């Protein structure tokens, strides 16, 4: 299907990423485009607290007050998630060159600022006095802390809120922003997700045995979607922020358009458990993304899968893809071999990766996937860097509780 460009199209004019590969978009792009090994490391807090898995993807960028250009008054309300989101937003806004006054701000994290919750608990236990709690704690611990801080610092009067949806949170924030632009409630937005490393959050996943605890002595091999010997995912500190606006506004101000959000599908698994995905849920989200935009499976050139590197999740999603695409072998890969799993940041980061591919004519392969899971030998993911013009792609995010989003993204 060939879409005709419309003045009301929701287009992307800026994108910023903070992750284990840094925050330089050119450097990150080179890792993903050319299948370079991305850095993972032994995370010392995991070692100190005796976690089964000691590996993480860590963002080492400077998010100090000086680097971010914020005042001490502004900094009082900002925990680590807000700082990283501001850094990514600054990159996206510099690329877009859009005015921030009327922006909607729809950005969130899966947990808010866990450190503030812990700080309050520790002070209460140590002093038994509520009066010892910092008066700035609520803006740091509230679930909407990231969007609230960004809106305040950017001096935006547009709507501001956070959607939390586990591993699909970043993608949900993007689609909600797109809906608001399409409905006329705003003409532009920054949207996405962020997740920071925190030992309390990390320990919960470790206790579930969701992580790969078999490669503590070989961190750079730990995240390997679709490999026969994959053992679980690696938590990656990551933030993705996109600038969305109407096409006519972007063209009027001469902005570079990186791609279009053509549509989306949403679903819940329904028949699965809290942490065990079903093929039916992923299938429903992808098929809805197609049906609501008038596309057929034959129109899709590529799928950036959720593909976290878990034994069940990876093959379950591919089963859904095979059901939807029938005899056609659609090109697919997972980019979590580069970033690890950034939870609420993942859907936004992967949407950016997919838009780069659409805009620039290349497809990122999965890395460390060989030898492949035997179930995938007749339907393998892309294993080598590939230059190919693509026009339409799906980017999938599948969260705990069966919360699923499939974004339909297009080249400009």
Give residue for tokens 């400009």: 412
Q: CB-based contacts of 187: which residues, under 8 Å, 6+ apart?
A: 102, 181, 245, 246, 249
Question: Is 53 one of the annotated active-site residues of the chain?
Answer: no
What is the rounded distance in angstroms from the CA atom of residue 19 to the CA atom of residue 33?
Answer: 16
Counted residue by residue, the chain has a size of 412
Q: CB-based contacts of 167: which residues, under 8 Å, 6+ apart?
A: 110, 306, 308, 341, 343, 344, 346, 347, 397, 398, 399, 400, 403
What is the rounded distance in angstroms from the CA atom of residue 369 to the CA atom of residue 348?
Answer: 23
Handedness of CA 13, 397, 399, 373 (dihedral sign): negative
Spatial strand order in the sheet of 403-410: 160-161, 104-109, 188-195, 238-246, 10-18, 259-268, 403-410, 392-399, 302-304, 331-333
Question: Is 167 one of the annotated active-site residues of the chain?
Answer: yes
Single out the catalytic residue among 18, 31, 258, 341.
341
Q: Is 152 exposed, middle or buried (0-12, 13-18, 19+ CB in 10 A)?
A: middle
Residue 190 tokens read as: 């920054």
Question: Is 341 one of the annotated active-site residues of the chain?
Answer: yes
Single out the catalytic residue among 18, 19, 53, 167.
167
Residues of the chain by 3-state class (helix, strand, coil), percent to 5: 40, 20, 40
Radius of gyration of the chain (CA): 20
What is the rounded distance in angstroms from the CA atom of residue 249 to the CA atom of residue 318?
Answer: 38
Residue 102 Cα to chain centre, angstroms: 24
Single out the catalytic residue among 18, 31, 295, 306.
306
140 touches 74 (CB < 8 A)? no
60 touches 84 (CB < 8 A)? no
Catalytic residue set: 167, 306, 341
């Amino acid at each position: 299907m060939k879409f005709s460009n419309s003045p009301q199209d929701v287009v992307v004019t800026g994108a910023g990423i903070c992750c284990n590969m840094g925050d330089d978009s050119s450097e990150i792009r080179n890792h993903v485009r050319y299948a370079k090994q991305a850095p993972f490391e032994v995370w010392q807090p995991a070692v100190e607290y005796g976690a089964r898995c000691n590996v993480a993807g860590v963002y080492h960028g400077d998010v100090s007050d000086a680097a971010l250009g914020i005042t001490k008054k502004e900094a009082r309300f900002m925990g680590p998630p807000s700082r990283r989101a501001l850094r990514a937003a600054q990159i996206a806004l510099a690329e877009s060159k859009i005015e921030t006054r009327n922006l909607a701000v729809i950005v969130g994290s899966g947990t808010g600022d866990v450190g503030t919750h812990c700080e309050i608990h520790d002070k209460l236990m140590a002093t038994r006095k509520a009066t010892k709690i910092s008066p700035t704690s609520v803006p740091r611990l509230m679930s909407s802390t990231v969007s609230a801080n960004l809106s305040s610092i950017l001096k935006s009067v547009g709507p501001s809120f956070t959607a939390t949806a586990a591993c699909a949170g970043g993608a949900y924030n993007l689609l909600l922003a797109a809906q608001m632009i399409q409905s006329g409630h705003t003409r532009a937005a920054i949207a996405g997700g962020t997740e920071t490393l925190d030992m309390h959050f990390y320990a919960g996943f470790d206790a579930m045995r969701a992580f790969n605890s078999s490669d503590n002595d070989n961190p750079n091999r730990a995240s390997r979607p679709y490999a026969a010997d994959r053992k679980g995912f690696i938590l990656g500190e990551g933030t993705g922020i996109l600038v969305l606006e109407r096409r006519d506004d972007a063209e009027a101000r001469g902005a570079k358009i990186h791609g279009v959000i053509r549509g989306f599908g949403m679903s819940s698994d329904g028949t699965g458990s809290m942490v065990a995905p079903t093929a039916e849920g992923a299938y429903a989200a992808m098929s809805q993304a197609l049906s609501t935009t008038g596309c057929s499976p034959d129109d899709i050139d590529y799928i950036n899968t959720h593909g976290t590197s878990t034994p069940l999740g990876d093959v379950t999603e591919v089963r859904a893809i095979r059901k939807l695409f029938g005899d056609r072998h659609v090109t697919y890969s997972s980019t979590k071999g580069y970033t690890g799993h950034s939870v609420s940041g993942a859907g936004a980061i992967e949407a950016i990766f997919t838009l780069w591919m659409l805009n620039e004519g290349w497809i990122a392969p999965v890395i460390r996937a060989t030898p492949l899971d035997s179930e995938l030998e007749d339907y393998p993911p892309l294993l080598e860097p590939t230059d190919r013009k693509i026009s339409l792609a799906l980017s999938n995010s599948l969260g705990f509780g069966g919360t699923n989003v499939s974004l339909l993204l297009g080249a400009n």
